[in-house]
Amino acid sequence: MPPAAPPPRPAPRPPSSTVEVKHWVTRVTTAHQLDLQQQIIAFLLKAYGGVLSATLALFLLQGFQLGGFPLDPGLLTWLGGATVGAVAGLLTLTFGAVFQRRPRP
């Protein structure tokens, strides 16, 4: 069952003065940035989960010798280490880029 979608945000009311315009633009821009960050992170976590699942499937196929699936143990060690290292590095870069602190003006 897919997760429930978040409720839609109310439509922002149009501003009436210059100061209100700046606050309105800031509010709308921030809301848009947060939505993009949520979509990026959701997609990447699913993609990284798929990579880890595929690697785990290879380990299980090798471990139980299902369908005559022989792989060299050295290859499996390398594959596991490379997968974990790559996913950890990419997650670190992703979260650092998406959630970087921006200096206040």
Q: What is the pTM of this model?
A: 0.59
Q: What is the pLDDT of residues 82-104, one digit of tens each?
A: 888 888 888 888 888 777 766 66
- The token pair at 49 is 């989960």
User: Could you state, in order of their start, the residue ranges of all structural domains in the chain?
Assistant: 18-98
Kindly give the parts of the chain with pLDDT less than 70.
1-3, 10-16, 101-105
